[in-house]
A = this chain, B = another copy of it.
Amino acid sequence: MDTVIKNGTIVTASETYKADIGIQGGQVSLIGKDVEGDEVIDADGLYVLPGGVDVHTHMELPVGETKSSDDFVSGTVAAACGGTTTIVDFADQERGLSIHEVLEKRLGRAQGRAVIDFGLHVSITDANASVLEDEMPALVKEGIASFKVYLAYPGRYMVDDESLFMVLLKTREIGALVLVHAENGQVVDYLIQRHLSEGKTSPLWHARSRPAEAEAEATGRAIALAALAEAPIYIVHVTCRGSLEKVREARQRGELAFAETCTSYLLCTEENYSLPAFEGAKYIVSPPLRQRADQEALWRALASGDLQVVSTDHCPFNFMGQKELGRDDFSLIPSGMPGVETRLPLLYHFGVNEGRLSINRFVELVATNPARLMGLYPQKGSVTVGADADLVIFDPRKQVRLRHENLHMNVDYSPYEDVTVRGYPVRTISRGKTIVVDGAFVGGQGDGQFLRRKPFVP
């Protein structure tokens, strides 16, 4: 073996057991007792997990005049430091460019720069005949097996119901998965305009303009159209009880409805928007943060299986210079929160330590399920022979006080500043190579590879 991780406790989505892991050629090659290898990593007293898979990130995303503050370098270094070894980011259809062109543009930003492996979803904003008939099937063949549509942001991203329906029908045919941002864009935009016209410009009004009912409605609509199209569907960033109910009902009817929530919704609430000194802006995200009762419902849904994935929707903006753009108008605050680095520690601490999730369910939520749903399994998301040796050595006793200055995301604040978590990655391994040790990045820029993902299989 090239490398052997000895004496660790391996944790997968269903099992927890002590064994050594032998790595050869960047893959897990042997799991057993007394495995020998050239390089020996001692994991005594530590967990060995599959590397995290974050299927919802936005690196260097242009938003209005600015863009999200992590590029593919800083963002993936941060991901790796937090125990994530795969991300799936987005290429958004642009007016005047073919999807192939925007994909190339986006690949140009990521390739040679990302430090961990990455995939791309494609966002469709104009479901014209060429997109449906030519580009989508071609993309699936090139390893892009998931398409995102927005029911929010009319005029920018929003598609109408017919477009959503046609995309769903097409994905069913070609083996892809539709990701839906579910908020009723017309209602939301109406409320934004009304609130602004009434002089209600502070961050709290961001939340008041994007009510939970508008999310639940759009979630129900998307699921209904998917059921009609007999196509699978994946609702991104579910935040509230109403949306959960729609997802649960669909699953109980036997429909292929999947959904994620994000760490922010599990840990922060609407109350944050009323923080003094414009601090509420740090928590502006869409859909917005909700109430404590919603949080509790989300945690229960993670445990029961109604939600299948925890991702981050990582989309950071600096408070200084970026979030500040909306001091006088909440609608100008760039929407997004940092998270790619803290997902595993936060979910472990507040989920596993608090008794809300078993450690196996934790692994399933952050690695195995996202890999499966996005066509990356078993290459990613799993500690099994033949899988990529994307591994995280995790110390369940290590306590870390989160401070943005110690984190690696390129953003001037943390929503969890001074929160102390117990349980933290102490080593991250990507395709057999150690890239983070004790919080220090030791990998190489551009070592991350583009992942051609497999078609969706129910």
Contacts and interface: CB of A to CB of B under 8 A. Distances in A.
Interface of A: 10, 12-19, 22, 24, 29-33, 35, 160-162, 165-166, 184, 186-187, 189-190, 211, 213-214, 216-217, 220-221, 224-225, 227-228, 248, 251-252, 254, 300, 303-305, 360, 364, 368, 378, 382, 384-387
Number of copies: 4
Contacts of A217: 220-221, 224-225
7 contacts: A14-B360, A18-B386, A30-B30, A31-B31, A162-B189, A166-B190, A184-B224
Given A29-B33, A32-B32, A224-B216, A17 B385 contact: yes
Contact of A213 (B228, B300, B378, B386): B228
A187 B166 CA distance: 9
Nearest to A228: B213
Contacts of A17: 378, 382, 384-387
Given A14-B13, A227-B213, A378-B16, A31 B29 contact: no
A15 B224 CA distance: 31
Given A220-B217, A252-B304, A386 B13 contact: no
A228 B187 CA distance: 9
A447 to B, nearest CB: 24
Contact of A224 (B213, B360, B368): B213
Contacts of A382: 14-15, 17
A12 B384 CA distance: 11
A209 to B, nearest CB: 11
Given A17-B387, A161-B184, A382-B15, A228 B254 contact: no
Nearest to A216: B224
A385 B384 CA distance: 12
A12 B225 CA distance: 34
Contact of A190 (B165, B186, B305): B165
